[in-house]
Amino acid sequence: MTDATEREMLYDMVRRFAREHIAPHVTAWDEAGEFPRQLYRQAAELGLLGIGYPQELGGTAATHSLRAALWLALCRHGGSGGVLASLLSHNIGLPPVVALGSDVLKQQVVPDVLAGRKIAALAITEPGGGSDVAALRTRARREGDEYVIEGEKTFITSGMRADWITVAVRTGEQRGASGISLILVPGESAGLRRSPLHKMGWQCSDTAHLFFDGVRVPASHLLGAEGEGFRAIMQNFNGERLGIACAALGFAQACYDEALAWAQQRQTFGVTLNQHQVIRHKLVDMQQRMRSTEAWINAVCARADGGDSGADWVGEVCVLKNHATQTMQFCADTAVQILGGMGFMRGTLSERIYREVKVLTIGGGTEEIMKELAARQWRI
């Protein structure tokens, strides 16, 4: 079976899952501020949570191109950034565990998450700084066979109900990348408090402010060696940014689908909207940006699948994230314009995605940081 065939089959499976189990319920879930935990189990039963993870941990090895198909289908046909963010939060929380955790820790944590029984999250951002990871202040001091964690994290996706949280802490000097480590914290730990955050979008995704007040964690939960966390965080960001680019394209396509359907049935001045040249040209502008983004994603995934993860590829991922989120922004804005008054109404897909654009231009690295990182990779 070719990779193209596998990708088509996976896309079709996720499309059917999203249309049946997600899209009809998203508006109600947004109003409730969460989606049912049962959705994790349903996604896991299809193998969706395990894509890209080792088979011995309950996953399925997959190329970057195959993973892209999952993100694209889930976003285009599910139409909710909130569902995407929390349902797949393990894709930023688990990779450091898989890469750096002990065999015992991996077996304890990963299979349950991939089976949908547990939820994993990543906690890096702090109230005093976002993009400047090297300046984080949350500390972990070693006391015998434990680490004791003090500090705060904010804007943490799945932070309210995560069972496992991969936390960036300072174990070395007061400032700088070399003093940062990663520790896996159980969600039920004494001294861990959580406070919900209310957002412009992603309303059905729980987002939390976390407080660590003398949280004790076994020393065996250290991921890798002390002081090696910063490098792991940067590597983790590459996968997150590529996933964001795929998500942005899927959401742009969702906006196009809704705008096209509306233009084909809505009548003004005796004809349907798509019979007006100005509307047709807006739809073509959307296609232009989506097609360029799709071609770029395919090219970057192909490079990664060929083993390329060098500086040039990292720079390309950064600017691809910018390009894809700008495509999403353009398509969401254009779709709302084509829908007119209906595009301003809660319940339309384009209205929801319009509110969700900015979090993708910020999360995983802001546009400004992406440009600067690309400049450094390309020695500009």
pLDDT tens string 33-44: 999 999 999 999
Token representation of residue 251 = 């959401």
pLDDT tier at 118, thresholds 50, 70, 90: very high
The predicted model gives 44-69 an average pLDDT of 96
The predicted model gives 95-100 an average pLDDT of 96
Q: Is 0.75 topped by the overall pTM? A: yes
pLDDT at 58: 96
pLDDT tier at 360, thresholds 50, 70, 90: very high
Lowest-pLDDT choice from 14-18, 231-235, 336-340: 231-235
Our answer to whether residue 146 is catalytic in this structure is no
pLDDT tier at 182, thresholds 50, 70, 90: very high
pLDDT at 133: 84
- Please, are residues 113 and 94 in contact by the beta-carbon 8 Å criterion? yes
Q: Indicate if the pLDDT at residue 340 is higher than 90.
A: yes
Phi and psi at 207, nearest 5°, equal -130, 135
Report the C-alpha gap between 337 and 305 in whole angstroms: 39
- Please, are residues 344 and 352 in contact by the beta-carbon 8 Å criterion? no
pLDDT at 132: 79
Q: What is the pLDDT of residues 281-307, one digit of tens each?
A: 999 999 999 999 999 999 999 999 999
pLDDT at 172: 80
What percentage of residues in the chain have a pLDDT greater than 70?
99
Report the C-alpha gap between 307 and 326 in whole angstroms: 28
| Annotated catalytic residue, options 126, 152, 226, 240 | 240
Q: Is 8 left (phi over 0), alpha (psi -120 to 50) or beta?
A: alpha
Residue identified by tokens 């941990």 is 57
Q: How far, rounded to the nearest angstrom, does the alpha carbon of residue 357 sit from its chain's CA centroid?
A: 13
The predicted model gives 131-145 an average pLDDT of 90
Q: Indicate if the pLDDT at residue 308 is higher than 80.
A: yes
Find all residues with CB under 8 Å of 163, minimum gap 6, and list them: 112, 113, 118, 119, 120, 186, 187, 188
pLDDT at 177: 82
